[in-house]
Amino acid sequence: MLLVAEPILGPEEKTALAEVIDSGWLTMGDRVRAFEQAFAEVHGVEDSVAVNSCTAALHLILHALGLGPGDEVLVPALTFVATANCVVYVGATPIFVDIESADVPLMSLADAEARCTARTKAVILVHFAGYLADREAWRDFARRKGLLVIEDAAHAPGLRQVGTFGEAAAFSFYGNKNMTTAEGGAIIARDSALLETIRQARGHGMTSGTRQRLNARTPTYDVTMLGFNYRMDEMRAAIGLVQLRKLPGWNEVRSRLVADYRQLIAERCPSVTVPFQQPRLSTFHIMPVVLPAGVVRQEVIDHLRENGIQTTIHYPPVHLMTLYRELCPGVQLPRTEDFALRELTLPLHPRMEAETVELVVDTLARAVQAETVVKAVA
């Protein structure tokens, strides 16, 4: 089965893990700190905070910024549910915003403005599929409305422009991401005081960690704020240090594969559209396409699967999920809903080659053609 996403792990990661085991120190320590510094350098900032997931990263950012009950936070519905969940974690209310269009499935600035109220305090921008939102437009909007800007950069590690939109950015190293630590995440913020608050909050609000107390030869510590158990461990950091060195090359491979996809889809199944026709900065995390209206997506999925090709969907709209229909009733986002009904995510990862892309596109073309013929006969 050709998978939608596939991590690349090899001898270097195994060696890094063995070194951690041999060291006898497994919890947050020197390797976590080294990974934080290396990740910060890649993104052109002074420092970062490593955590155990992107969900933890988003929660910590919202918590450290003081968002809470009575506050509203603008979020896209075309995202993984964690983006909205983290707003609920701090007691605030997610306000779902439509996408701009099927070609630009990023949060609509016009719809965001229409949904702003006196209670709106922040906006979470999701760099869907690795494509960056329009920084200057959103920064101007935030200044006019007095909003905090948070980046959900789960799809976009490795670009220096990420983390420059506003207060902080959250990253994911889950197993299907551009780089992985199996589970894991990180935060960058240009305000050092905000970053230090986040750093302390990730470890129960304690004033020192276990490794720090060992080096300082004193067992005492204090708790000066509410905190959480969101730490990264040494094994994940060790994998992350290896993966981070490979990230630029992997992102470049993704870029070439997406270019191949765009060309072949235009030639061989032009009724299928590929979002983001206009070039913009991207890490090319996933390969979303939009099927023609009337084509039964499940039939296309089944056809590809029968030919050994996995596909998936990014994303079922969050506002239509049972929890959020109950928490936020009556939300209608027509562009998001139409996109989500016709979107299909094709395989994209650095293990693939140009020939693999050609195989996927040819199989997709046959599937769509078969569906079109069936529809015409019916």
Contacts of residue 141, defined as CB under 8 A and 6 or more positions apart, other chains included, come to 109, 112, 113, 123, 147
Q: What CA–CA distances, in Å, run from 7 to 198, 239, 254, 286, 312? A: 29, 12, 13, 13, 16
Q: Alpha helices, DSSP H only, in 94-185?
A: 109-115, 135-145
Q: How many CA atoms lie within 13 A of 15 on its CB side?
A: 6
Question: Which position has the token pair 């094994």?
Answer: 235
Contacts of residue 260, defined as CB under 8 A and 6 or more positions apart, other chains included, come to 354, 357, 358
Selected catalytic residue, list 121, 177, 246, 375: 177
- Cα separation of 236 and 230, whole Å? 13
Contacts of residue 225, defined as CB under 8 A and 6 or more positions apart, other chains included, come to 197, 200, 201, 205
Q: Is 375 part of the annotated catalytic residue set?
A: no
> DSSP strand E in the chain: where?
49-51, 72-76, 93-97, 120-126, 148-152, 168-172, 185-188, 287-290, 343-346
Count CB atoms within 10 A of the CB of residue 330.
6
DSSP code per residue over 314-325: S---GGGSHHHH
Helix (H), strand (E) at residue 32: helix 30-42
Question: Which position has the token pair 């934080």?
Answer: 36
Farthest-apart Cα atoms in the chain, separation: 79
Burial class (CB in 10 A: 0-12, 13-18, 19+), 310: middle
**Contact (Cβ atoms closer than 8 angstroms) between residue 3 and residue 346:** no
Count CB atoms within 10 A of the CB of residue 298.
8
Token digits of residue 42: 């890649």
Residues recognised as catalytic: 177
